[in-house]
Amino acid sequence: MKLYRFLSEEDTSAFCHKVTDALNKGWELYGSPTQTWDHAAGVMRCGQSVVKEVEGDYSPEIKLGEQ
């Protein structure tokens, strides 16, 4: 089965670390990164989709961050 996650964070090194952690756990980049201005918080936010192929059947109870 293929799993999908959308990672997001303020535009700081924390975002890069979040994506790097996912890549090192076997996730692959999916599409282009995105960036937008968060007017309420007054910060830039980044996002990146990632996918991963795993064994088993899909269930909404799957903890995607633990895969």
Q: What is the pLDDT along the chain (67 residues), one digit of tens a residue?
A: 999 999 999 999 999 999 999 999 999 999 999 999 999 999 999 999 999 999 999 889 888 888 8
Cβ proximity of 11 and 51 under 8 Å: no
Residue 25 is predicted with a pLDDT of: 95
Q: Of 17, 44, 22, 48, nearest to 33 (Cα)?
A: 48
Q: What is the pTM of this model?
A: 0.87
What is the distance between the alpha carbons of residues 10 and 62, in angstroms, rounded to a whole number?
26
From residue 61, alpha-carbon distances to 41, 57, 64, 65, 66 in Å are 31, 11, 9, 12, 12
Residue 26 is predicted with a pLDDT of: 96
